Chain A
Amino acid sequence: MRPIYRVARATFWESWRRRFLNGILVFAILIIGSSWVFTYLQPGAELKMLIDVGLGSIRFFGMLIAVFLGTRLIPDEIEKRTIYTLLSKPVTRTQFLLGKFFGGLTTVISNVLLMGITFYIVFAIKAPQFAQPTEEGPAYSMEFMYANVAKAILLSFFELAVVMGIAVVASVIFSWILAAIFTFFVYFVGQMSEFFGHLADPDTGASPIARYVLGTVYRILPHFEKFDVREAILTDVPVVWKYVGTTIGMGAIYVTIVLALGYLFFSQREV
Chain B
Amino acid sequence: MADIALAIRTENLTKIYYLGWGRRQVGVRDLSLAVEEGQIYGLVGPNGSGKTTTLKLLLGLIFPTSGGGEVLGEPLGSPRCKQRVGYLPEGPYFYEHLNAPELLRMYGNLFGMSGKHLETRIQELLELVGMWSRRDMRVMNYSRGMRQRVGVAQALINDPDLLFFDEPTAGLDPIGAKDIRGVIVRLRDEGKTIFLCSHLLKEMEPLCDNIAILDRGQKVTQGSVTELLAGEGHQYRVEIRNPDEELLGKLQERSDEIVWVDEICRAVFSERQPAMDAAAMVEDDGGYLLDVGPDRRTLEEVFIEAVGEVSPDATDL
Shortest CB distance A10–B (Å)? 5
Chain A residues near B91 (CB, 8 Å)?
Answer: 81
Contact B94 A85 (CB under 8 A): yes
Not counting A17-B96, A92-B79, a sample of 5 additional A-B residue pairs whose C-beta atoms are within 8 angstroms of each other reads: A3-B109, A6-B109, A86-B110, A87-B59, A88-B164
Residue with the greatest number of chain B CB neighbours at <10 A, chosen from A81, A82, A85, A91: A85
* C-alpha spacing A81/B87, complex, angstroms: 13
Chain A contacts with B in 58-107, Cβ cutoff 8 A: 80-82, 84-92
Shortest CB distance A172–B (Å)? 15
Contact B97 A13 (CB under 8 A): yes
A37 interface residue per 8 A CB criterion: no
A2 interface residue per 8 A CB criterion: yes
Chain A residues near B110 (CB, 8 Å)?
Answer: 2-3, 6, 86, 89-91
Contact A85 B62 (CB under 8 A): no
Chain B contacts with A in 84-103, Cβ cutoff 8 A: 85, 87, 89, 91-98
B106 interface residue per 8 A CB criterion: yes
Which 10 pairs between the two chains have the least Cβ-Cβ distance?
A: A88-B87, A270-B62, A84-B89, A89-B110, A81-B93, A90-B82, A80-B93, A88-B59, A6-B109, A82-B93
Q: Which residue in B56, B107, B109 is a CB contact (below 8 Å) of A85?
A: B107
Shortest CB distance B141–A (Å)? 14
Shortest CB distance A58–B (Å)? 27
Chain A residues near B56 (CB, 8 Å)?
Answer: 271
- Jot down 30 A-B pairs with beta carbons below 8 A, ordered by A: A2-B109, A6-B109, A9-B106, A10-B95, A10-B106, A14-B96, A81-B91, A81-B92, A82-B95, A84-B61, A85-B89, A85-B94, A86-B110, A87-B59, A87-B60, A87-B61, A88-B82, A88-B85, A88-B89, A89-B158, A90-B79, A90-B82, A90-B110, A90-B112, A91-B82, A270-B61, A270-B62, A270-B63, A271-B56, A271-B62
- Which residue from chain B places its CB closest to the CB of A11 in the assembled complex? B95
Residue with the greatest number of chain B CB neighbours at <10 A, chosen from A87, A89, A270, A271: A89
Q: Which residue in A6, A17, A90, A92 is a CB contact (below 8 Å) of B106?
A: A6
* C-alpha spacing A157/B83, complex, angstroms: 37
Given A3-B110, A81-B92, A88-B82, A17 and B59 contact (CB-CB distance below 8 Å) = no
- B interface with A by C-beta (< 8 Å): 56, 59-63, 79, 82-83, 85, 87, 89, 91-98, 106-107, 109-112, 151, 154, 158, 164
- Which residue from chain B places its CB closest to the CB of A10 in the assembled complex? B95
* C-alpha spacing A170/B158, complex, angstroms: 34
* C-alpha spacing A13/B102, complex, angstroms: 12
Chain A residues near B97 (CB, 8 Å)?
Answer: 13-14, 17
Chain A residues near B87 (CB, 8 Å)?
Answer: 84-85, 88
Chain A contacts with B in 241-271, Cβ cutoff 8 A: 268, 270-271
Chain A residues near B151 (CB, 8 Å)?
Answer: 85
Contact B111 A81 (CB under 8 A): no
Contact B95 A13 (CB under 8 A): yes
Shortest CB distance B143–A (Å)? 17
Contact B98 A10 (CB under 8 A): yes
* C-alpha spacing A197/B305, complex, angstroms: 72
Q: Which residue in A14, A84, A92, A268 is a CB contact (below 8 Å) of B95?
A: A14
- Which residue from chain B places its CB closest to the CB of A79 in the assembled complex? B93
* C-alpha spacing A85/B112, complex, angstroms: 16
- Which residue from chain B places its CB closest to the CB of A87 in the assembled complex? B61
* C-alpha spacing A82/B106, complex, angstroms: 13
Contact B154 A85 (CB under 8 A): yes
